[in-house]
Amino acid sequence: PKPMRLRSLALLTFYAAGDPRAARTRLERAASLYPRSWRARRYLAMAELALPRTEARSVLALVHAELGGMYPVPVADPFVRLLVAECMAAVGDQTGDAAWYRDAEREALSCLEIAQPKGLVYVTAARMRAKASSTISSVSGRGISTAGVTPKRRP
């Protein structure tokens, strides 16, 4: 385990240096060598989110983020839930489906069940709701059917 921690720190350094492509390559290798490494999977999801939209594989980032919360045992970690919410929003960005944003908002707000209320949770949830409503507005503005989709309005 000790060499893996050192590798994770080195990979995080690559990620922090602003080169998510290099980080993604190395983290994919680390995740394939150590499939139970939650650090490699979480950082891989973060690297995917840092890539330009045309290069990012957001569904794969979502898978890695969810698996990053499963090992060594499922944990109630608000960071993982917020990362999963960000990945869901990235999938929504790529597909244009507002349902991903609603799920992302729900995932972000689920942090309140396991941790003390923090501003980041509310900010993330509000951002997801705003993305969902802008997606619904753009779809209805283009004349595409939105049957079954109703935006919620607060009084």
Per residue in 24-73, pLDDT tens?
Answer: 888 888 888 888 888 888 888 988 898 888 888 999 899 988 888 776 55
What's the distance, CA 113 to chain centroid? 19
**Angle (CA) 123 125 130, round 5°:** 95
pTM of the model: 0.74
Contact 27, 11 (CB under 8 A): yes
Tokens, residue 23: 């980080």
pLDDT digits (tens, 9 = 90+) for 66-103: 888 776 556 688 888 999 999 999 999 998 888 999 99
Confidence of residue 150 (pLDDT cuts 50, 70, 90): very low
